[in-house]
């Protein structure tokens, strides 16, 4: 029997024990946890005891105590594999959870009479939680008739929620299926049980809010609202934080936060402030099926919160400014950044880079100039500002080439103008080490071509040379107050990419990679630092530039092979050294020097091979990608769809779309544009409909045998 006297006696005993034992003593920790469990049991029993008539009170209390004490044992995180005293009920559920699915379990469960089911449920559920926790949701779903005690159902849901690992599932569709299973079991519990029967705990609801994807968290929240389940402000914050992550649910998150603000919650406390930051950060998906402006307005939300006493900090401000930039309101973002600064919000390097990224993305020189002015009021390292200014020239050239639909190869007259700006602020020697050409000689060139190696056989008119380049030269021409600066790895990577994109002749491109590879193999500290900081960026640029030129797909695959070989060697060495990634056997050539290929590397290769009509090699690269546990994203799927559609390969186009859907991705605007490359779209749609009909018939046939 649970009484105040028992808890008080246990508390006094525990106090004496903790005086004798150290705080880290296992027995002391166990005693404290058991005390907490007893207090929780006492509190819960005091609430639910009124649900039973006097005649049933004693048996109900006995069943409650039995369940709670045994549940505490099986749900402990430090539960022993084999208990010291064998639990007589431990194997009771094997006959049920050994079945394949919830429907089979339900049929087996209903083969028992109702009284047997009611009597066996507690030990059967405890047995499942102990021996087969991964099937707890299925067993619970199958055994809700007759309805078990509400407190036990909540405990099982809490047990499942604590062990939910949806984010660790790599496949998008599998994650969605797992999340839907969880929502369905909660829905079934709430629908089958009378109102108030299941005292759904705030901890259970909060765990589900934090672990479920946004779509399923929204569904659960609406379900709890319809069931009139009262949520604690902290639980509401957890739902708001999850819903605020996706544009589709930001309005709902805003409504929750408004309700909390109206009830007097301090918006400047850490948890509400963090949730507001998430809400204000809007990631706009430009490849969506609709180009309409999102309904949620971060500006209106911020104004509302500030009226309610919210004081923005640099984290909130950065999230808000990024949203404005993504919505193409760069002028407003710059104005508010200066206003925040005047109001006492100290902008940092991240806030400024957010503003400058938006200014650069607008492709307007005046916005870039204003963005450079904002750097003066932000705590930004000068080298970072210079790096961003240099990269803006690269970005403007790249966007201009694509906007004008210039044919490949996309060669830009970049390196000369960027080198002249670079040389005004940075030392030449660190960059010279990476390049086979004499930089002082290039600087002496007065023509626009900057040397024979960069001569273009296809002259093009470039606007960026007359827009962003003059601004960059003016910015870099400000007088130095000290010696020239040392470039960091980001500076070197920007300049190397500009050099690569300026090379006109295939031979020069291949020769540069030989030189670059030799430099990496010299194992200088700054070479290793470049790879550590920049990853595969320079390698990806080399591969992309090679793939743009006819006849250079094999050299591009050789670059990829160097990366893959070193990645495999690094993995083997790490395993052999017990986690130590350095494996130096005395021969420097054995040390990996190339970065591992990433998703971008694979996507560049696949796109280039498909554009060149080399389907077999592209599929081999996809297979390597799977072997390296690199999951394709939506861009990769669209690349494959477009490649097969351009080849007019209907079968491959359709199968790719099917695989994309099976992986859990929804088609976007770029998917439909890729599909539009097919000439015989009618035939492709017929094939897709045929596949859907076949699958429907299979499912119907399976249902007949269940």
256 assigned to some structural domain? no
Check pLDDT > 80 for residue 433: yes
Which of 234-243, 283-292, 305-314, 415-424 has the least mean pLDDT?
283-292
- What average pLDDT does range 533-558 have in this prediction? 94
- What average pLDDT does range 289-303 have in this prediction? 74
322 assigned to some structural domain? no
Average pLDDT, the chain: 85
pLDDT score of 665 = 82
390 assigned to some structural domain? yes
Asked if residue 594 and residue 637 are part of one domain, the reply reads: no
Asked if residue 549 and residue 495 are part of one domain, the reply reads: no
55 assigned to some structural domain? no
Residues 463-495 pLDDT 10s = 999 999 999 999 999 887 789 999 999 999 999
Check pLDDT > 90 for residue 686: no
pLDDT score of 55 = 87
pLDDT score of 377 = 87
What pTM, to 2 d.p., does this model score? 0.78
- What average pLDDT does range 582-599 have in this prediction? 68
Asked if residue 683 and residue 613 are part of one domain, the reply reads: no
pLDDT score of 112 = 94
Cis bond before residue 47 (omega within 30° of 0):
no
Residues 334-388 pLDDT 10s = 999 999 988 888 899 999 999 999 999 999 999 999 999 999 888 899 999 999 9
DSSP H or E segment with residue 693: helix 681-704
Residue 508's pLDDT band (boundaries 50, 70, 90)? very high
pLDDT score of 57 = 87
How far apart are alpha carbons 622 and 641 in whole angstroms? 13
Residue 63 exposure: Cα atoms within 13 Å on the Cβ side: 19
Which of 230-244, 598-612, 666-680 has the least mean pLDDT?
666-680
Asked if residue 660 and residue 687 are part of one domain, the reply reads: yes
Residue 461's pLDDT band (boundaries 50, 70, 90)? confident
Distances (CA, A) of 618 to 149, 248, 480, 645: 57, 35, 50, 14
Check pLDDT > 80 for residue 11: no
The CA-CA-CA angle for residues 268, 310, 318, to 5°, reads 90
Residues 413/445, Cβ–Cβ less than 8 Å? no
Residues 433/519, Cβ–Cβ less than 8 Å? yes
pLDDT score of 556 = 95
- What average pLDDT does range 96-125 have in this prediction? 92
pLDDT score of 449 = 53
pLDDT score of 303 = 93
Own/partner pairs, 701-706, CB within 8 angstroms, 24+ separation: 706/103, 706/104
pLDDT score of 83 = 73
pLDDT score of 455 = 58
Residue 160's pLDDT band (boundaries 50, 70, 90)? very high
- What average pLDDT does range 324-338 have in this prediction? 91
pLDDT score of 453 = 64
Rounded percentage of the chain residues whose pLDDT exceeds 90: 54
Asked if residue 642 and residue 542 are part of one domain, the reply reads: no
Q: Of 555, 589, 620, which residue constitutes the final position of a domain? A: 620
Residue 285's pLDDT band (boundaries 50, 70, 90)? low
Asked if residue 547 and residue 470 are part of one domain, the reply reads: no
Distances (CA, A) of 165 to 138, 161, 162, 690: 16, 9, 9, 36
Count other C-beta atoms under 10 Å from residue 220's C-beta. Answer: 22
Own/partner pairs, 226-233, CB within 8 angstroms, 24+ separation: 227/190, 227/195, 228/195, 229/190, 229/200, 229/205, 231/202, 231/205, 232/202, 233/260, 233/263, 233/265
CA 164 remoteness from chain centre: 17
Distances (CA, A) of 691 to 636, 647, 672: 23, 22, 19
Among candidate residues 670, 678, 685, the one with its CA nearest the CA of residue 286: 670
Asked if residue 685 and residue 609 are part of one domain, the reply reads: no
Question: How many domains in the chain?
Answer: 3
Residue 699's pLDDT band (boundaries 50, 70, 90)? very low
Residue 687's pLDDT band (boundaries 50, 70, 90)? confident
pLDDT score of 20 = 46
578 assigned to some structural domain? yes
317 assigned to some structural domain? no
- What average pLDDT does range 216-244 have in this prediction? 95
Asked if residue 490 and residue 386 are part of one domain, the reply reads: yes
Tokens found for residue 81 = 């594999």
Check pLDDT > 50 for residue 584: no
Q: Which residue has the tokens 């004693």?
A: 58
Q: SS3 sequence, 209-232?
A: HHHCCHHHHHHHHHHHHHCCCCCC
DSSP H or E segment with residue 344: none
Residues 503/411, Cβ–Cβ less than 8 Å? yes
Among candidate residues 350, 403, 358, the one with its CA nearest the CA of residue 378: 350
Most confident by average pLDDT, 1-15, 39-53, 316-330: 316-330
Residue 452's pLDDT band (boundaries 50, 70, 90)? low
471 assigned to some structural domain? yes
Residues 185-219 pLDDT 10s = 999 998 888 888 888 889 999 999 999 999 999 99
Asked if residue 567 and residue 490 are part of one domain, the reply reads: no
Note down the domain range covering 447: 381-504
Check pLDDT > 90 for residue 604: yes
Check pLDDT > 80 for residue 636: yes
Asked if residue 706 and residue 685 are part of one domain, the reply reads: yes
What are the residue ranges of helices labelled H in 111-149? 114-131, 136-142
Asked if residue 664 and residue 575 are part of one domain, the reply reads: no
Q: Of 595, 620, 645, which residue constitutes the final position of a domain? A: 620
DSSP H or E segment with residue 471: helix 468-476
Tokens found for residue 272 = 């509400």
Q: Of 561, 594, 620, which residue constitutes the final position of a domain? A: 620
269 assigned to some structural domain? no
pLDDT score of 694 = 63
Asked if residue 677 and residue 610 are part of one domain, the reply reads: no
């Amino acid at each position: 029997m649970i009484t105040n006297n028992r808890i008080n006696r246990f508390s006094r005993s525990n106090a004496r024990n903790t005086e004798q034992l150290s705080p880290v003593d296992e027995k002391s920790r166990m005693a404290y946890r058991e005390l907490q469990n007893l207090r929780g049991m006492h509190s819960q029993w005091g609430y639910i005891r009124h649900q039973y008539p006097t005649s049933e009170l004693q048996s109900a209390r006995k069943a409650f105590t039995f369940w709670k004490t045994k549940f505490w044992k099986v749900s402990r995180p430090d539960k022993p594999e084999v208990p010291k005293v064998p639990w007589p009920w431990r194997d009771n559920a094997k006959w049920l959870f050994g079945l394949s699915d919830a429907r089979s379990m339900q049929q087996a469960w209903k083969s028992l009479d109702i009284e047997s089911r009611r009597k066996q449920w507690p030990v059967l559920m405890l047995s499942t939680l102990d021996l087969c926790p991964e099937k707890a949701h299925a067993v619970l779903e199958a055994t809700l008739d007759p309805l078990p005690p509400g407190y036990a159902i909540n405990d099982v849901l809490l047990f499942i929620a604590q062990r939910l690992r949806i984010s660790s599932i790599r496949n998008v569709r599998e994650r969605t299926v797992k999340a839907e299973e969880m929502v369905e079991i909660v829905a079934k519990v709430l629908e089958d049980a009378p109102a108030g029967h299941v005292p759904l705990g705030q901890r259970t609801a909060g765990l589900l809010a934090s672990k479920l994807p946004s779509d399923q968290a929204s569904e659960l929240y609406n379900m709890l609202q319809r069931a009139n389940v009262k949520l604690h402000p902290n639980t509401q914050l957890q739902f708001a934080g999850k819903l605020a992550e996706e544009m589709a649910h930001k309005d709902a998150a805003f409504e929750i936060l408004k309700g909390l603000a109206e009830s007097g919650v301090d918006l400047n406390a850490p948890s509400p402030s963090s949730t507001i930051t998430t809400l204000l950060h809007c990631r706009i998906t430009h490849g969506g099926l609709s180009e309409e402006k999102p309904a949620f307005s971060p500006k209106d939300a911020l104004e509302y919160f500030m009226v309610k006493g919210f004081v923005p900090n640099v984290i909130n401000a950065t999230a808000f400014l990024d949203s404005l930039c993504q919505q193409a309101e760069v002028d407003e973002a710059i104005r508010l950044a200066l206003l925040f600064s005047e109001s006492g919000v100290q902008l940092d390097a991240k806030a400024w880079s957010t503003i400058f990224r938006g200014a650069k993305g607008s492709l307007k020189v005046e916005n870039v100039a204003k963005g450079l002015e904002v750097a003066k009021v932000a705590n930004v390292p000068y080298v970072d500002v210079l790096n961003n200014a240099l990269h803006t020239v690269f970005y403007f050239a790249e966007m201009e080439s694509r906007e004008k639909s210039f044919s490949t190869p996309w060669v830009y007259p970049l390196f000369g103008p960027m080198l002249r700006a670079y040389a005004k602020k940075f030392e030449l020697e660190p960059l010279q080490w990476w390049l086979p050409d004499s930089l002082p000689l290039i600087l002496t060139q007065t023509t626009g071509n900057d040397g024979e190696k960069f001569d273009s056989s296809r002259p093009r008119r470039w606007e960026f040379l007359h827009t962003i380049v003059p601004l960059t030269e003016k910015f870099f021409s400000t007088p130095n107050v000290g010696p020239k600066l040392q470039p960091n790895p980001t500076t070197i990577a920007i300049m190397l990419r500009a050099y690569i994109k300026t090379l006109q002749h295939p031979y020069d491109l291949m020769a540069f990679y030989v030189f670059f590879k030799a430099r990496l193999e010299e194992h200088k500290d700054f070479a290793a630092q470049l790879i550590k900081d920049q990853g595969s960026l320079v390698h990806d640029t080399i591969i992309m530039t090679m793939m743009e030129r006819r006849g250079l797909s094999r050299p591009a695959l050789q670059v990829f092979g160097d990366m893959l070989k070193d990645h495999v060697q690094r993995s083997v060495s790490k395993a052999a050294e017990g986690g130590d990634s350095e494996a130096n056997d005395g021969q420097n050539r054995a040390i990996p020097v190339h970065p591992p290929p990433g998703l971008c590397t694979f996507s560049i290769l696949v796109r280039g091979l498909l554009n060149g009509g080399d389907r077999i090699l592209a599929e081999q690269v996809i297979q390597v990608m799977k072997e390296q546990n690199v999951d394709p994203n939506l861009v990769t799927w669209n690349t494959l769809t477009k490649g097969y559609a351009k080849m007019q390969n209907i079968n491959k186009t359709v199968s790719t779309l099917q695989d994309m859907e099976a992986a859990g991705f929804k088609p976007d605007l770029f998917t439909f544009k890729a599909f539009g490359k097919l000439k015989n779209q009618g035939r492709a749609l017929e094939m897709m409909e045929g596949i859907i009909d076949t699958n429907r018939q299979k499912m119907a046939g399976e249902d007949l045998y269940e």
